[in-house]
């Protein structure tokens, strides 16, 4: 989880270690300068606590500093889609097809969250975008946090029940994470520092990433 903003560079593949994003590339820009999170400390803590609950029981942790070893996904929280030349999105991330996007990079555009309960709204957007990077597509189930069903997307978020992951998405998450965990233990796919040869081996396994904005 990245709170203080920064410059994200466009690239063919995501690289959370180097702040490279394929979604930025799809905008036609060379980079995007993202502002930091504009909300309060209480909102930030509430968002993280809520997101951890969304992924309870799954091997997912939300941390504020990159781990010293191993692969990780990166989410920038702050700014607006206009910082990337886009509009009308609460979040955006590369999407895997029932598999984790290696070194995935996603965005939560917190400045555009004007809901009555921002903490709930931010939590759902964060869970949604991380869900894409772990292999989920959009859902039509109004009770699923991955839903973009026009019949149920207009929520005021005021004392609203937080949506979670429903079946079959829970099973997809568990399967994607299990597969990712096994591959991370394989020395042929483990990344070691900035070794170029290891980087290329991992990138060869990157799935075709979604090139259209997954409107939140």
pLDDT interval class at 183 (50, 70, 90): confident
Nearest-10 Cα torsion for 83, 87, 93, 96: -150
Confidence (pTM): 0.83
DSSP alpha helices (H): ranges in the chain?
Answer: 22-26, 41-54, 118-133, 169-184, 196-203
Pair 58, 177: CB distance under 8 Å: yes
Distances (CA, A) of 117 to 89, 169, 212: 17, 25, 28
Say if residues 138 and 146 touch (Cβ distance below 8 Å): yes
Residue-wise pLDDT for 51-84, tens only, equals 999 999 999 999 999 988 889 999 999 999 999 9
Q: How confident is the model over 118-159, as pLDDT tens digits?
A: 999 999 999 999 999 999 999 999 999 999 988 886 666 766
- The torsion defined by the Cα of 151, 160, 74 and 177, in degrees rounded to 10, comes to -80
How far apart CA 196 and CA 204 sit, in angstroms, is 12
Structural domains of the chain in order of their starting residue, each with its CATH number: 6-189 (3.40.390.10)
pLDDT of amino acid 131: 98
- List the 105-108 sheet strands across, edge first: 74-77, 105-108, 91-93
Question: 15 versus 150: which is more confidently predicted?
Answer: 15
């Amino acid at each position: 989880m990245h709170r203080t903003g920064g410059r994200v560079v466009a690239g063919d593949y995501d690289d959370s270690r180097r702040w490279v994003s394929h979604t930025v590339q799809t905008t036609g820009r060379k980079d995007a300068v993202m502002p930091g999170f504009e909300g309060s400390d209480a909102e930030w803590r509430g968002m993280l606590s809520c997101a951890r609950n969304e992924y309870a029981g799954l091997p997912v942790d939300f941390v504020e500093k990159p781990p010293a070893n191993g692969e990780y996904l990166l989410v920038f929280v702050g700014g607006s889609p206009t910082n990337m030349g886009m509009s009308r999105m609460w979040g955006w991330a590369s999407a895997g097809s029932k598999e984790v996007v290696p070194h995935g990079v996603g965005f939560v555009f917190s400045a555009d969250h004007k809901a009555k309960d921002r903490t709930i709204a931010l939590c759902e957007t964060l869970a949604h975008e991380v869900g894409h990077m772990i292999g989920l597509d959009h859902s039509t189930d109004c009770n699923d946090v991955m839903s973009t069903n026009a019949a149920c997307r207009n929520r005021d978020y005021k004392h609203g029940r937080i949506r979670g992951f429903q079946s079959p998405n829970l099973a997809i998450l568990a399967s994607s994470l299990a597969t990712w965990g096994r591959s991370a233990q394989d020395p042929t796919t483990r990344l070691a520092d900035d070794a170029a040869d290891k980087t290329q081996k991992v990138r060869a396994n990157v799935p075709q990433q979604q090139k259209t904005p997954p409107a939140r």
